[in-house]
Amino acid sequence: MLEIWLGIKAAFWLVVTLDADLIEIAARSLLVTLSAVAIAAAIALPLGAWLAVGRYRFRRLVIAVLNALMGLPPVVVGLVVYLMLSRSGPFGVMGLLFTPWAMIIAQVIILTPLIASIAHQSIRDLWAEYHDLLISLNTSRGQRIKTLLWDSRRALLTAALAGFGRGIGEVGAIMIVGGNIDHATRVMTTAIALETSKGDFALAIGLGFVLVGLALTVSILIHMLSGTEVRDRW
Amino acid sequence: MVSILPLSLKNATVERDGKRLLGPVSLDVQAQGLTIVLGPNGAGKSTLLRLMHGLEKPSAGRVRYAVPRREAFAQQAFVFQTPIMLRRTVLGNLSYPLTTHGISRAEAEKHSLTWLKRLGLAGHESQRASLLSGGERQKLALARALIRKPQLLFLDEPCANLDGAATQDIERLICEARDGGTRILMATHDLGQARRLASDVLFLHNGEVLEDSPAESFFEAPQTDAAKAFLKGDLVL
């Protein structure tokens, strides 16, 4: 109980005094996660729409694999990305290991199946509603996908936010590929893991509160900016 | 512009899960007029229209237009019994078929606004289409189908569940489209509506076309017992 109280106190002071380290770590967390969400969404949303609209062989298998990949263990992703980016790996020459880029790559791999799977379910429902109309209006497949993406944008925002929620709290993969290097790749989650291993629970809990606050603030901001749940809008 | 008609069906059938829903049907749809597709529930009226429009594939036989398939489908439209509204504004719904066919958004919206005035929906352009009344939604769906001036229009019981005023508005739009040269095939249960609008009648029962005749002769002297019973208002089983 004392640790929690001290954690609240620590979080309060970290925020009130605008602690330089905290600001740097929080900014890096946001940069890495928002970049990963943007890249993953750019891949996953059209993929989800394409899976909903397309009729081809192995479609069900692809969807089943995609759903299974939602539960991809981050540590395994981290390990694979580490091997790919390490000096002896195929992309070692790019020198990305232990940089925020490596962390973004790992998060994109984790988030893409999650966002694609949620997006696919939403778009599939809308496609069932629009199917006859869009065929009747003689639209091309590209136009159908564009229409479905636009008209289900609120649900897709939720998919992206689910990705953000998973990304901002991710620790296993980014610890492996980022290395938790101070002033280089340290983010909120890896900092919490470090403080916990050092036994500084108060600071770890403080950082935890800040992390939760950060995640909630971003989600609420995105909802407000996009006008979700506003009357007379979709 | 090249005419997509006549439309020709030769022994076309539609089966689903081993059950025959329609056919075999053989008929020709010529370039002029308004054909009413009549028949009791489950006769295959909607299936016939969907087959002609390409929403159903024939299990056997063929459906052929005077031009290649792609050109034919670009020149036709379909209005469903329950109007399907895009999750957009009224204006967004009406301008959609124009913007997806290469017309700029500004031009499409300008043209759509003139249509909205014609529909009596001026002032509703920014409203969600799903918030319109049933009659207004069906008028919007019909206008959306007509806005590109299709050569061929399919109407699947467009006035089902509408009141007299809304039905009158829909019928006015249908007559204007017919007078403007659009060939119309319309399924309905409403015999009064069929008498008001039809230039010829297709009567279906149990998936088969029992009668294909000019409206006057169908209503004056139906040839089959099922059609006679249907016109008398008897149950047709």
- Picking from B76, B104, B131, the residue at the C-terminal end of a domain is B131
For residue B142, being part of any structural domain is answered with no
The two tokens of residue A196 are: 């916990």
Give the mean model confidence (pLDDT) for residues A78-98: 95
Counted domains in chain B: 2
Give the mean model confidence (pLDDT) for residues B103-126: 93
Nearest-CA residue of chain A relative to B130?
A232
For residue B167, being part of any structural domain is answered with yes
Q: Are B99 and B179 in a shared domain?
A: no
For residue B1, being part of any structural domain is answered with no
- The distance of Cα B47 from the centroid of its chain, to the nearest Å, equals 12
Q: Are B20 and B125 in a shared domain?
A: no
Tens of pLDDT, residue by residue over B44-85, are 999 999 999 999 999 999 999 999 988 999 999 999 999 999
For residue B67, being part of any structural domain is answered with yes
Q: Are B152 and B76 in a shared domain?
A: yes
Q: Are B187 and B76 in a shared domain?
A: yes
Check: CB of residue B122 under 8 Å from CB of residue B158. Answer: no
What is the architecture, at CATH level 2, of domain A2-226?
Orthogonal Bundle (1.10)
Q: Which of A136, A151, A232 to mutate to test the interface with B (most CBs of B within 10 A)?
A: A136
Tens of pLDDT, residue by residue over A144-189, are 999 999 999 988 998 999 999 999 999 999 999 999 999 999 999 9
pLDDT score of A227: 66
Q: Are B117 and B152 in a shared domain?
A: no
What residues in A contact B101, CB-CB < 8 Å? 138
The residue ranges of every structural domain in chain A are 2-226
Nearest-CA residue of chain B relative to A147?
B86
Tens of pLDDT, residue by residue over B198-227, are 999 999 999 999 999 999 999 999 999 999
ipTM: 0.91
Q: Which of A126, A130, A137 sits opposite B97 (nearest CB)?
A: A137
Q: Are B77 and B102 in a shared domain?
A: no
Determine what percent of chain A is predicted with pLDDT higher than 70.
Answer: 97
pLDDT score of A52: 92
Give the mean model confidence (pLDDT) for residues A101-107: 97
Nearest-CA residue of chain A relative to B72?
A138
pTM: 0.86
Residue A200 has pLDDT above 60, yes or no: yes
What residues in B contact A147, CB-CB < 8 Å? 86, 96, 100
Q: Are B63 and B96 in a shared domain?
A: no
Q: Are B99 and B175 in a shared domain?
A: no
Residue A15 has pLDDT above 90, yes or no: no
Q: What is the side-by-side strand order in the sheet with B76-79?
A: B76-79, B152-156, B183-187, B34-38, B200-205, B208-214
What is the rounded distance in angstroms from the CA atom of residue B195 to the CA atom of residue A206? 79
Give the mean model confidence (pLDDT) for residues B9-35: 92
Q: Domain of residue B37: give its range.
A: 7-85+148-232
pLDDT score of A138: 92
Q: Which of A129, A138, A234 sits opposite B74 (nearest CB)?
A: A138
CATH number at residue B205: 3.40.50.300
